[in-house]
């Protein structure tokens, strides 16, 4: 989920803030800014059987619209980590031996 990766990267060179504008149905990301937790980050979510639909929100990074792959599941936005890493400057890798996603920053 978007807020979870923002929370995890807080304090690193790849930190970014997340803001929601309900009136515009827009998510605004600002690179280099600290993330302000809203509560519940990294608690995990059990969604059971759910339908994923492409997000209808417009996504902005530093004022410019971007188009990462994003899905809405049970009113939560999920993004492809590699898409976010490409635009926000963090690395994403997979370790199949340990079944682990690796996130790297400078």
Residue span of the structural domain in which 90 resides? 2-104
Identify the residue whose tokens are 């827009």: 26
Q: In total, how many domains does the chain have?
A: 1
- Least confident segment among 8-12, 15-19, 26-30, 71-75: 71-75
| Residue 45: pLDDT band with limits 50, 70, 90 | low
What predicted TM-score, i.e. pTM, was given to this entire model? 0.85
Structure tokens at 40: 């519940």
Task: Flag whether pLDDT at 51 surpasses 90.
Answer: no
* E strand or H helix at 5: helix 2-9
State the pLDDT at residue 47. Answer: 62
What does the pLDDT average to over 59-68?
95
E strand spans, 40-99: 53-54, 58-61, 64-66, 70-73, 76-79, 91-95
pLDDT (tens digit, 9 = 90+) per residue, 26-40?
Answer: 999 999 999 999 887
């Amino acid at each position: 989920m978007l807020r979870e990766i923002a929370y995890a990267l807080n304090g690193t060179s790849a930190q970014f803030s997340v803001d929601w504008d309900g009136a515009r149905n827009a998510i605004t990301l600002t690179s280099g800014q600290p993330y302000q937790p809203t509560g519940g980050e990294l608690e995990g979510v059990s969604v059971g059987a759910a339908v994923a639909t492409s997000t209808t929100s417009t996504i902005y990074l530093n004022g410019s619209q971007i188009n990462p792959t994003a899905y809405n599941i049970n009113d939560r936005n999920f993004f492809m980590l590699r898409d976010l890493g490409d635009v926000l400057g963090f690395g994403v890798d997979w370790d199949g031996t340990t079944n682990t996603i690796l996130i790297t920053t400078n």
